Amino acid sequence: MKRISLNTRGYLAGIGIVLFVILVMLHDQDANLSDPSKDETIAWTHNPQQVRSFQFLEQAENPEYRDFTAIPWAVTYSPLTEEGHCIPKEDITKDLNDIIDAGIKAVRFFSVDCAVLDAYDDLEYEGEELEIILGLHPYPVVDSEEQEPNLSHYIKSINLQLAEISAWNRWDRIAMLVVGSQGVHHERYSRSELVRMIRYVRLHLESEQGFRGLITTVEPVQSWASPTKYNAASIAEYKEFQQRTAPWQKPIEGIDDHNSEDDDFDISNIEDNDLCAVVDIVSLTIQPYFNSGLYPDESGRLIERDVKFVKYLCSDDFIGRAHREENDANLQRDNSPPVAILEAGWPKAGRHNGNAVPGRNNQILAINSMLTAYDSHSGTRIPVTLHSYQDEVWLDESPMAVEKSFGIRHLYT
């Protein structure tokens, strides 16, 4: 009986080694890659009606500038006071109007909290000039603090947020829906649980006729490496596994059985943890300041490296690497999805981290470097969301004392 091989004792160590080797390879060696066709990005989409949202990702060859600072494609926005309370709705609307005036295309809300959607409704021209990247924050809805959270508890919180968005009833303004933010990285839930949550949202949104956006999640690059994909016996068998576990084939609760009459491929014990397969676009969080070897004006290099790396992790070339011996120099990146950065920034105050030095001038150098990062595969500029529009004064400081100093509002107003 055929099955995907999972080395339960050693695959975590193996995946760590291979990721390190790949990072070194991608840093030192440029793959010989051809330019994609004009239709390549749109070809990835699960839904042809999402074309508008893919076009929203397109970047001019060079960014526009305001007072020598590049203008970002998008910014993150969290409307909280120093005490962690919501700021008034009219202040949110003013900030959003300022974001539009700065020439920024999109705003990323981490959730529907603080009546951000109502504030958006109060914008001039009903927000036609500002797209929304909206987060769904999975949190466990449990009966008591002693109850151990499981997938169903996270689904309950997602349902509450989806109901609020449905009541708002402006699905057409949402260019991207983000299910979770670094939850796998922070071990709030597993990679396979996140895969199921994304599938749940995708199936739910089939009934929302106005939604034409992209569905994704935000994680650092290492979270996109699927141990199951890495340990697959072959590309062909893994693709068959993906087809049989597609959302239109399987129940949301997971893989209990399969409907095929051909029983020579047993998927009943295989963990479905391939995030690449369930998103329309791969979204990364990258914070160059925390890499002590980078100077501010080298921040874009880290973005370019991680984009190149995640395209490999999401390509056919990563499938079965535990069993394959092909030359890594001939990477093809077959069926690799587009990539966007949904969180990247540089602090204007705080302590030195090796070569990474905070400061107002260094923040500008870092921003200009990040916003001129290019995808080595397509040759196009990478869409980058700067973090964050305002200083997040409600956060607790770490020993580096930078958490409250990522705000960029002063550069564009």
Q: What was the pLDDT predicted at 270?
A: 84
In order of their start, the domains of the chain are 66-251+270-411 (3.20.20.80)
As a whole number, the mean pLDDT across the chain is 84
pLDDT > 90: percent of the chain: 66
146: confidence class by pLDDT, cuts 50, 70, 90: confident
Q: What was the pLDDT predicted at 36?
A: 34
Q: Is the pLDDT assigned to residue 99 strictly greater than 80? A: yes
| pLDDT, mean of residues 48-71 | 85
Q: Which of 198-202, 205-209, 336-340 has the largest mean confidence?
A: 198-202
Residue 252 · residue 199 · CB < 8 Å = yes
User: What span, in angstroms and rounded, lies between the C-alpha atoms of 109 and 136?
Assistant: 9
Q: Is the pLDDT assigned to residue 3 strictly greater than 50? A: no
Residue 366 · residue 69 · CB < 8 Å = no
User: Is the model more confident about 270 or about 294?
Assistant: 294
Q: What was the pLDDT predicted at 105?
A: 94
User: What span, in angstroms and rounded, lies between the C-alpha atoms of 233 and 189?
Assistant: 27
Neighbours of 260 (CB within 10 A): 13
3-state secondary structure of 166: helix
Q: What was the pLDDT predicted at 50?
A: 62
User: What span, in angstroms and rounded, lies between the C-alpha atoms of 57 and 77?
Assistant: 19
Q: What was the pLDDT predicted at 330?
A: 52
User: Is the model more confident about 35 or about 198?
Assistant: 198
For 230-263, write each residue's pLDDT tens digit: 999 988 889 888 888 776 665 555 444 444 444 4
Residue 130 · residue 107 · CB < 8 Å = yes
User: What span, in angstroms and rounded, lies between the C-alpha atoms of 228 and 192?
Assistant: 10
User: What span, in angstroms and rounded, lies between the C-alpha atoms of 356 and 365?
Assistant: 11
Q: What was the pLDDT predicted at 320?
A: 92
User: Is the model more confident about 159 or about 28?
Assistant: 159
Q: Name which of 261, 189, 276 is nearest 228 in CA terms.
A: 276
332: confidence class by pLDDT, cuts 50, 70, 90: low
| pLDDT, mean of residues 342-367 | 98
Q: Is the pLDDT assigned to residue 354 strictly greater than 90? A: yes
Question: Mind giving me the DSSP string for 188-236?
Answer: SS-HHHHHHHHHHHHHHHTT-TT---EEEEEE-GGGG--HHHHT-S-HH
| pLDDT, mean of residues 34-46 | 39
Residue 175 · residue 53 · CB < 8 Å = yes
